[in-house]
Structures are given as structure tokens and as C-alpha cells.
Structure 1
Amino acid sequence: MKDSSGQARGTRRIAGRLGVLGAAVALVVGTLIAVTVPAALAATLYSNNFDSGDLSGWTKSGGTWGLATDGSQVYQQSKSDANDARTWYTPGSTFTDYTVQARVKPIAFGAATRFVALNARVQSATSEYRLALLDTNQAQLQTVDSGSVAVLGSTSLTVSTGTFYTLQIQVSGSTVTGFVNGAQVGSGTSSLFPSGTVGFSTFHATASFDDLLVSSIGTPPTPTPTGTATPTPTAPPTATPTPTPTPTGGGGSDTGLIGYAAISGDGHGPTTGGAGGPTVTVTSLSALETEAANTGPEIIRVNGLFSGSGEVTVTSNKSILGVGANSGLTGIGLKMKGQSNVIIRNMNISKVTASSGDGDAIHIETSDHIWVDH
């Protein structure tokens, strides 16, 4: 069965966006599990996947902007000969230090040196920070000041029409950093624009834009197990037959194991994921697929939002941890079949259709001790 967004749902499945839910999700599959709610890593300032058709607050300058269907409903610029087609969102309050991310798909380019772009700290139609995909197979992080362009950083990148790319710009103080598909493509400093909004632009090109997310820049909390014992970096929390209730009046958020996750039984220990193994950070889908399939315990930090189709197979004794509020998978699910002792946390997973792998954002089958939370 599908919901209105086209995402498959069913028994023993979690479908939809994980990592942006307002509460933890608990599963029962075979022998199982409890989950906890960690502290929020960043606040969402604005988001729009354009499925609802809401374009309130958006300003346009040049080109032909409107809603279109491109897999899902997207925001699209469809005039191929438009010179400096731009659109930006006008928020109710000022955006200062933040991360903006969107999926961007070049549809067609005109003559040479054309581009499609994601924009940050937008001041007007001619002033902003810009992360552009050029038809010359480059990604450039630029400052645009009253139409005058300066390059903060660039890298060679195959830019293909008909392909979605995940673009991200981080602005913090005077530092501007750009990422494409989770890989940094440039960074620099500029004091031109201390604050500003977000938007999209094209230059003699048509493009689709989707899954816009603006979030404050947060710092991941340090996990602290329940109790008074001093934790060591890799040791799992001590299992107890009966979980001790959290004392009242403390506030805050506890990211240690509680409930059944902390209890050994049925031939299994507590749910510790990749504790005791190496910690690696992946910045591409292929790297995530490789690390998740490895044998032995491993903590895998996912830095970026990776797009594609199908699913990533996760083996036993793994922790899959999204870095910040903007990391995860689009169109791709996670699969655990016949596995045990896996932790999945803070992963933003969306737009997994019924034809993609098993059709689930997270597929769990004949597995136990699987811990999923945001």
C-alpha cells in the first residue's frame, strides 16, 4: 500500500522521512528493542518539497518559474533562453548562520558556460552566495555582488542533464562552504553578506529544484549513558535486568540505552551497534554501501544526502549515524535481513517508491536488536 506521497508502507516497515520525525520510532520485529530520543542537532528554519504546491513567499526575477512533475512535484525553470533567471524565498525573519540544501537537476543547457545553482544569503536578484553546476563540468562556489562574480572555490565534476544533484551551502559567520552529493567542492571567506535568504537560479538553462531544507547549524550532542558510572569511549552501557527510571527534574535528553535495548536475553546481548569497531565517515553512496556491507562492528557517520534508487544492505553490528540535520538518503532505503545489533540514528530518508528495492525507507526482516531513532 502507498500513502499520498507514493511511499510504500506495510507490516514490518518504516516508510517516510526518518531523521525529521518529532518523536522516536519503536519497532518490534522478532526479539526486540527500545529506542531513545537524542537532542535535536539543528532546527529547521524552512523546508519545501513542493508537493503541496505552496509557493507563498517566493519572488521571481526572469525566466518561467512554476510547479512541474519530475518524478515528484518540483519547482522548475522552463525557459531555456532566460538570462539570469532567479527565484528566492522571503522569510518572516532573517536567516543568518545556516545550512541550505536542495536537489537540483539540470534539464538542458544552452551555449557554453551555462549553469544551474542553489543560492544562500540572497540580498536581491543580483547579490548572493551561489553554488553553481556549470555545463563545463565544474562546480563553483561563488560570491555575486551586484552582478559581479568571484569564485571562492571550485572542483571538476561531471555535470549531466537529467540527473539530480544534492547541493548544500553552509554559511557561518564569514565562512562559506559548498558541497555536492556530500563532497566538499569549495570553501572560502566573505564578509559581503552577513545574513540573507535562500533561492535558486539558472543562466541559459532549464532545471528542476526539489527538497529544499534550511536549518540552523547545530552541534551533535555527546552521548551519555544513564547512571553515575563514568563512561569509556567505546564500552557499551552496563546491562541491567530491570531498567532504572530516569530521575525527575533533570530535563535534558538521554542518548544512552534504556528499556529492552539495554537488556541481554534470548542469546543476545544489549543493542550496541558498531561500538568497539572503527569509526568512519562516508561522503558518497558507494562508500556507504561498502562500509555497511563490511563484516565486524563499525560506526558509520553519513555526511551528506545521497540520491539514487534501490537499497543499502546493512550487516550486523553497525551504527549508521547521520551527521547534522541534513544527511541521509533520497530514493534509497536501508535493508536488514537476518541481521542483529544495528543502530540507525538521525537519518533523513525520503521518496522511496514501491519500485525501489523492497519499497521501504527501512526494511527489517527476520532481524533482532534493531534500534531506530531520530
Structure 2
Amino acid sequence: MRRRKGLGGSPFTALATSLALAVIGALVLVAMPSAFAASLFADDFEDGNSNGWSKSGGSWSVVADGSQAYRQSGTGADARTVVGTGWSGQAVQARVKPIAFNGGGRYVAVLARAQSTSNYYFLGLSNSGSVVLGKRTGGAPTTLGSAAATVTPGTWYTLRLEAFGTTLRGFVNNVEVVSATDSTFSAGKVGLAGYYASASFDDVLVTDAGGPSEPPVTPTITPPPPGSCPTSGTPVGFAAVNAWGRNGTTGGAGGPTVEVDTASELISAIGQSGPLNICVRGMITVPAGMYNVTSDKSIVGIGSTGGISGGGLNIGLPLDNSVTSPPANAVNNVIIRNLSFRNASDDSINVQMFSHHVWIDHNDLADGYDGLIDIKRGSSYVTVSWNHTHDHTKNMLLGHDDGNSAQDVGRLKVSYHHNWFDQTPQRNPRVRFGEPVHVFNNYYVYNTDVGVACQLNAGCLIEGNYFERVEVPATNTYAGTAGRCVARNNVLDDSGPPECSGSVQEASSYYAYTLDDPNSVKAIVSAGAGVGKIGT
């Protein structure tokens, strides 16, 4: 391979290669492009040296690792190396192979806009099971955004960090997985880092053009057959309430309808601005991670076979503990319907950071890694309805942590109705802080740990449900500080009694609803919950 360092010259030509991104249960192969325009710098280390690179910490040397590569050996140092000049708009890409990590929260990374070896942006593969986008300003790293991913030592990955204006985008194996906005650094060098970690780096390339290195894929504006993608509908429960500047949940209503059947089309569509109805054809396998959904979206499966495997959907801004009230740009007005979720590398659906007016309806969820539907960090006005959950332990979490009262108290208002909790042992849901949490007309069967767990002063109204072979249908003393729950008009079929005490706000003070006869709920829900059932 030719090697060129510095500015100008002809485009750098990279060796076409297939790189593996480790995901739970799958291996996704992505072919690298054959050429890049507007190359600013390139180094493949085939001349056996690292001339021009300035090092700080660690033990850096050029070694044979398949081809010649630049290695940071040992895990006992905060090791960084930088090269180049004061580039402003830049995309820095490198092949990176993590080798070993020293302790938790460590990473190997590419750097952009480096003012020095102590001030820069970075995109790293972390041993905490994530891709981390962050910055250093002389002290410890600051996380700007992250996405769950399986990081396997000894595996090569291609990382690309783009910095154009105030927008930062991080790619793994040519798939965008994380983004953020920050204005700390406007220009600088590029670099590599092993934050108390060892790694090999190769094929460093810097260009002045952003976006996927393959042409971006725009979903085709092809409406699906009538009735096969049910984008219209009206929720019952908190998603229908007029609050926080929004009256009800309409998703992509008023926007165009697109059909997607590949990971790149899906990820592109859910991240677009403006109203959009996204019809998912077939089961789409995405790389490991959580993919951000923007406001005013309806994501709906076509027929009974649409779904997402390998990753999950994130509805919400990046985590920020300093934000304690709903921001103006909180994600809102999102509908997820008629989709099957399988083998998610983290949560199948995650709602966070004051996201509101979200309707999760008629989905089939199973075999995930963490939660199937988790709602947390001040999110509110959510309805979870007519979903079938099965073959999974950690089902649904509402409120993620005992110490998050500043964001959660007075929020986490969620309705759960007509869901089929099918042999899911726990978190059906597990609730902290929220009030009222309205759990009505659901069918519970053989939940071996607990049905509804209401704690941390949460207030749960549990009514009109059918519990079959559930030892503890509901409790307000599951763990830690007690909550409050009111259980009424439930069918207890070969089940123990609810363990409830205290008073709870009435859901009827927020919205109107009509209870189905709880004796009929088993038949109604088992026939109507899940995919391919809307309108039946």
C-alpha cells in the first residue's frame, strides 16, 4: 500500500477490505470504499516509522499486525498521539483493533480537532460495551454521546469521527451510531488514543468531506399497499393528553410516507427532521446499538413481518443529569407500531430525557439484552398498548435509578393497557417515582417474580387486569423505599393477592377511558395483542 503524509496531492486509495462489527448473534460485514476525494492526510505505516506523530504517554511503535500498524502497548497510561495542522472541517478515519483494557470505562479512539494532546474530540470503543463520543479539555474525558455496542478485543473496527461546524458524528464500520453538537474546538490536528488501553491502529485517513463514505441512501417514496402499513390511529391514555405544549400523539401525520427494507434506509429515515411515516418491510438487521428517533415520526411494520433485529430504537436526547426540566428540544410525538423486535444489543425501545407524547402499540418484543421497553429520565405522557412481550426476563422499566428524583418526580406519567405479559418474570413494569402510572386491562400469565412492582414513592393504579398463575400480581414493597399502589377489579386466576397500600391519583383526572370486563381480558388481549392485529 502506498503511504503519503501531509497536505495536497492526489486522492488516497485505500485497500478494499471487509471489516467485521461484532453484534450479539450476528456478524455484519461492511466493504470499505475504493477511493476518497479531498484527502488531507494519510498514513498506513508501511514505511515502518511514525514520523510526524507527536506522542504523549504510553509506548507507541510501528509493528507487524497483518500489515504494518501503529501500536500503543501496555494499559497503564493515558496514551495519545497527534499529527497534522489546524484543520477545521475534518473527517478522521482509522482501522482500530482493541487489545486490552485496564479497568472499567476505558477506550481506544480516534481524535479530531486536537489543540494538543490534552484538548480534543474523540470517538472511542469502550470496554463498557459502548461507542463513546466525547471531548477532553485538559482533565478527564467528558461524554457527549454514546451508543451500545459489543467491543471485542482482537477485532478490527473502522472508526470515523467527523467534525464539521458544531456537528460531530461518529461511525463504526461505515454506519453512523452516535452524534452530538459542541463548539469547544473549531480546528486542530487529528490523533489516536489508548485511554489506559492497548490497541493497534492502521490506515489513518483525513478528508474534508463528511457523510457516509458510500453514497447516502434516501428511502424511496413508495407508499405501501393500502392498509398494510397502519400509520393512522389514536392512542388511549397519557399519549393522548394535552400537556407540555402538545395535544395528543400523531407521529408522522401530515408528512410523506416512505418504505424501508435495509438498515441504512431505516437509520436514515428515523433521523430525518420533520414529520415522516416510515413503513418497515421485513425484518431489518441493524448493527449493535441504539438508533436515535427524531420528533414527529411514525415507525410502522408492513403486514405482520416488519421488524428490527440486532439493535434498538432510542427516543430521546443524550443523557444529561444537569437537565432537570423538559427542554424545548425534547423529542416528542413518536409512534412505534406493528413491529417485531429481536436480539437487541441493549434496550429494544428506550425513551429518555423528557421525551413525551410517545405511543408504543401492537408490537411483538422478545429475546433482548436489557429492557424491552424502558422509559426514564423525566419522560412522560406515554402509552404502551397491545404489545406482546415474551421470552425475556427484564421486561419494562419505568424510572431507571433510585437517585434520579430531580428528573423524575412529577413525571413518568405512563399508561400500560391491553399488553400480554407472557411468562416475563419481572418488570411488568417495575416503577420508580411516576404518578399516576395506569396499568389496566393487561393479561399477565406465569410471571414468576412479580407483576407490577411500584417503589420509590411511585403511585400505581392497577385495575381491570387478568392475572393467571402470578404469585405476586402487584406490590409496593418490591425493593428499597416503598411506593403506593391501588389494585381494584382485577381477576386473580390461580394467583396470589396484590400487596398494595396507600392512595394514588386517579387516571380519570387526566383522560377518559373505558375498562373492558376483566373476565374477558385474557381472551381479548391474547387475540389482539402483537403484530398483524391492528383493527382486528
- TM-score, length basis structure 1: 0.48
Bigger Rg over Cα: 2
Task: State the structure with bigger RCO (CA 8 A, min sep 6), 1 or 2.
Answer: 1
